[in-house]
Amino acid sequence: MTKVREIVSGKNLYNIFLHLALVASLLVIAVLAKQNRDLKRGSGQAPKANMRAGEYFSLAGLTPATNGAQIDSTSSPQLIFVFTTRCPWCKETLPMWNSLADSTAQKKSLPVRGICLDSLEETRASIAQNKLTLPVIVPSNKELFSHFNKLNTVPLTIVRVGTGHAPTVWQGKLFDEEFRVVSGAIANTSDHQL
């Protein structure tokens, strides 16, 4: 019992704490040094490029996930919402996209389509669960479609014109102001002119 009292005495406890802090500090320094060395060598992966305004957006290799979800590669502009079923920001904005796709102004001007980057089965289950009326299409080969179109982040909102180019691209969740801009673009589009 006296041995235990000696070990946990104030002075010894202080020394034990200092030694543990020193060992923890050395471990952190070693890990940071390795990460620094890896970054200098370039062994870390470079960030992938994301789609930007003005780039080409292909609709090749898409399959309808819902009835009435046509793949429109004609000359008319369209609004495309790229999402996944697991993305929390995508789930949060799906009701807005649903109402936007059903709006009278949209039906007269700019078609709205959803492209889900998940499997057809997962997408259909999500459509049923969320009661989506938004026309949704899925790529038959997600990796190839995502690579070709530089879809490395979701959600992504794209205005695609007939040439296949995307003059406007919004990355990430659309906040109220951005969503008003998108809605305004739909309301102000007449005869499919953007």
20 and 78 both lie in a single domain: no
Q: What is the CATH number of the domain that holds 83?
A: 3.40.30.10
* Tens of pLDDT, residues 17-52: 888 888 889 988 988 888 877 776 665 555 577 889
108 and 73 both lie in a single domain: yes
In a domain, 47, yes or no: no
Whether the predicted model's global pTM rises above the 0.85 cut: no
* Tens of pLDDT, residues 172-186: 888 878 877 777 766
Q: Percentage of the chain surpassing pLDDT 90?
A: 27
98 and 135 both lie in a single domain: yes
In a domain, 52, yes or no: no
Residue range(s) defining the domain that contains residue 169? 62-188
Place of tokens 């990355």: 171
124 and 90 both lie in a single domain: yes
In a domain, 108, yes or no: yes
How is 113-182 classified by DSSP, letter by letter? EEEE-S-HHHHHHHHHHHT--S-EEEESSHHHHHHHHT--SSSEEEEE-TTSB-SEEEESPPPHHHHHHH
Give the pLDDT of residue 96: 86
Q: What is the mean pLDDT of residues 5-10?
A: 66
